[in-house]
Amino acid sequence: MGSVTMHLDDDELQWCLEGAKGIVKHYSKKGVNGSGSYNHNKVSSNLVGFKSEVGVKKWLLLDFDKKDVKCHFEDYLIPNAKGDIEVFFQPLEIKGLRPKHWDSFQRCIPPHQLKKYVEKDAIAIWTVASGDIMDNEVILKGWNYCWEVEKYGEFIQTICANIWLKDPELMRPMDTLFDELMYKCMIQA
């Protein structure tokens, strides 16, 4: 089993939309073009990210207790060095793309983000979601330790500089993440 499909409900989609609008409003007031490496600040782009994060949260809560899943992305205007989500102190960074971009830009992380992710031993979860609330589907494609992207990745120029984990065989299937997170929990105990 490689990827997992999650469906967001109307309340979750509405929360994502309000969050995406909040990010655009926040960064527009700062006089900057965007909230990240991509130098753009569009509701649709931020919606991809929020939907991806909520989809991953929903998937994690199928197997983990709510107390073990800390969703830092929910305080989206407060930068958090612990990752988008934490499970048993393991940082998870959610990297979302639109479906039409997956084949071209899958498994990419900007170099300055990658450096920070590797320093905290983060895991990247690769997702696909549309930039609207008409489609409630979020596909969790797979995952990797960020050090794997650093070690095996190669530079690629997309709309910004990225490190690309080119070999699709290196992407780990979603059904292996639960055991990995449980293992991390046991070694920290």
What tens digit of pLDDT does each residue of 96-119 get? 999 999 998 899 999 999 999 999
Q: What is the domain count for the chain?
A: 1
Domain containing 163 equals: 4-188
Q: What is the mean pLDDT of residues 165-182?
A: 94
CB of 73 closer than 8 Å to CB of 158: no
Q: Is the pLDDT of residue 35 over 60?
A: no
**Among the ranges given (23-27, 121-125, 127-131, 132-136), the one the predictor scored with the smallest mean pLDDT:** 23-27
Report the mean per-residue pLDDT for the chain: 90
Phi, psi of 147 (to 5 degrees): -65, -30
Quickly state the pLDDT bin for 189 (edges 50, 70, 90).
low
Exposed (0-12), middle (13-18) or buried (19+): which is 34, by Cβ within 10 Å?
Answer: middle
Is 42 in contact with 159 (CB distance < 8 Å)?
Answer: no
Lowest mean pLDDT among 14-23, 28-37, 88-97: 28-37
Distance, in Å, from the CA atom of 93 to the CA atom of 105, rounded to the nearest integer, reads 17
